[in-house]
Amino acid sequence: MKQMVRGLIDRIQAIRNKVKYNKIKKNININNTNDIVYVDLGASNIKMSYKGELLTFRSSIRKVLVEDEITIQKNAIRCNGCWYIVGESNQPTGNYEYKYQKEYLEVLILFGLSMFKDKVNGIGENLKVNILLPYNQLHTRKNLENKINGVYEVNYINTLGIQEFSTSITLGNVFAEGEASKVYIEKNHNTYGNLCVINIGYSTTEATLVNTLGNRENFISLNIGTNNLLSQYLKYTKAPTSSILSSWLNDGYTFSKDEARAIAEVNKQYISTLWNDIYNGVIKLSNPTNTSIVFVGGGANLLIDSFKDAIPKEYNVKALIPLESSYSDLLGMILLSNDTIEPTKINPVEEVPTTKKLSNYEKFKELKEKGLEVKEIATVTGLAIQTLRNYNVKYNKELQVG
């Protein structure tokens, strides 16, 4: 009976994910070009988009030394004569300082393309790879070019047997993690005032603060991610490694009451440290009542409830839905790559010519009479939400008296 109920829940969740996936694609108007592949390289998982499709898979990989290992598995790929198996690794996932040092990075990209090939009717012969990096790794562009640029002959396995394609790939544009999510969030979600995007990944956490004018005020990149947390969780679960536990959680594993109680305490200590670093490094520059904090990345939904308990109530805190949260940086990069799409902006307000300088309250009245809401006025003026709420009370009282 339990298996039947679980199966029903899984089918319902699959339908929900498909609806969310289609909604995301519709909202973002994903670029369908034949020439660009978009890559968000995570230490645990890689996210990719090509010709309007999205996919994600484990970013671990190993080279096959004995070809007898290759039988019917669909996670095998041959690149320029050498076989590799994706989803397995000879070294711990994320064991590198810079992302360009990721083991067989170019083969991972080609494996993603092989998964796209059956969906999109072929792969372009000359592809540019637009990729995301932490802000403090943008200087490694030349290393990335040396790693992935090249001409490749590829064989992969599907239900029809061994298939093949050839392509050349070169590095295109490089974008900053966190900043890309900010573009997607502004396009598709209602936020106000300053916006802080916190991207919690497997091995790093990026925090970016953007002011009301859309300019980056500050950023921080921390070498702390969910892997640190999952390693602590291992003390309270039956999983043999943090990577296995990560897979279990993705597959819907739920903690027992005793596990949940112990893990809640681990989260509390972890988040106290992480929030302190993020606050002192980035957020303390912003007015709490005029700041939205949005969590994205694989660790966002795992930790959002604990973060809400730790963050002062003056901040507007939210996390995107799991599917959207995982792809937000990738989708933001697509927006940034497409010059015809711009982030959502409030229509500019025409200033009334005046010979005297208006007070903040007088500015508020003018914008209010033009039909703007309090949150919109905050975005236009940069004034704190609480101040504008006080003005709103005063304004309404004046209307009643008048």
Strand bridging mode 194-200 / 291-296: parallel
Given a contact cutoff of 8 angstroms between Cβ atoms, the answer to whether 296 and 198 are in contact is: yes
Amino acid letter, 213: L
- Band the pLDDT of 344: cuts 50, 70, 90: very low
- For 38, list phi and psi in degrees, rounded to 5: -105, 135
How far apart (Å, rounded) are the C-alpha atoms in residues 311 and 384? 18
pLDDT tens for residues 46-102? 999 998 889 988 888 888 877 777 766 678 889 998 989 888 665 555 566 788 888
Q: Does the pLDDT at position 212 exceed 50?
A: yes
Are 131 and 174 a contacting pair, CB within 8 Å?
Answer: yes
Cα distance between residue 306 and residue 39, in whole Å: 30
Greatest Cα-to-Cα distance within the chain, rounded to the nearest angstrom: 88
β partners of residue 164: 155
In angstroms, rounded to a whole number, what is the distance separating the alpha carbons of residues 184 and 161?
39
Average pLDDT of the chain to the nearest whole number: 79
382 or 119, higher pLDDT? 119
Tell me how crowded residue 210 is: count the other CB atoms within 10 A of its CB. Answer: 24
* Whole-number CA gyration radius for the chain: 24
- How confident is the model over 352-371, as a mean pLDDT? 66
- The tens digit of pLDDT for each residue in 1-49 reads 545 544 555 555 555 555 555 555 555 555 556 689 999 988 778 999 9
Rounded Cα distance, 160 and 402, in Å: 79
Half-sphere exposure of 200 (CA within 13 A, CB side): 26
| Predicted TM-score (pTM) of this structure | 0.71
For residue 38, which of 159, 104, 127 has the smallest C-alpha distance?
A: 127
pLDDT-derived band at 345 (thresholds 50, 70, 90) equals very low
| Other C-beta atoms lying within 10 Å of the C-beta of residue 118 | 13
Q: Which residue do the tokens 């640029």 mark? A: 149
Q: What are phi and psi of 360, to 5 degrees?
A: -60, -40
CB 163 within 8 A of CB 77: no
Give the tens place of pLDDT for each residue, 279-332: 888 888 888 888 889 999 878 877 888 888 888 888 888 888 878 888 999 999
Q: Using H for helix, E for strand and C for coil, what is the string for the chain? A: CHHHHHHHHHHHHHHHHHHHHHHHHHHHCCCCCCCEEEEEECCCEEEEEECCEEEEEECCEEECCCHHHCCCCCCEEEECCEEEEECCCCCCCCCCCCHHHCCCHHHHHHHHHHHHHHHHCCCCCEEEEEEEECHHHHHHHHHHHHHHCEEEEEEEEECCEEEEEEEEEEEEEEEECCHHHHHHHHHHCCCCCEEEEEEECCCCEEEEEECCCCCEEEEEEECCCHHHHHHHHHHHCCCCCHHHHHHHHHCCCCCCHHHHHHHHHHHHHHHHHHHHHHHHHCHHHCCHHHEEEEEECCCHHHHHHHHHHHCCCCCEEEECCHHHHHHHHHHHHHHHHCCCCCCCCCCCCCCCCCCCCCCHHHHHHHHHHCCCCHHHHHHHHCCCHHHHHHHHHHHHHHHHHC
Place of tokens 């900010």: 182
Q: List, for residues 227-271, the tens digit of each pLDDT value.
A: 888 888 888 888 777 767 777 776 677 888 888 888 888 888 888
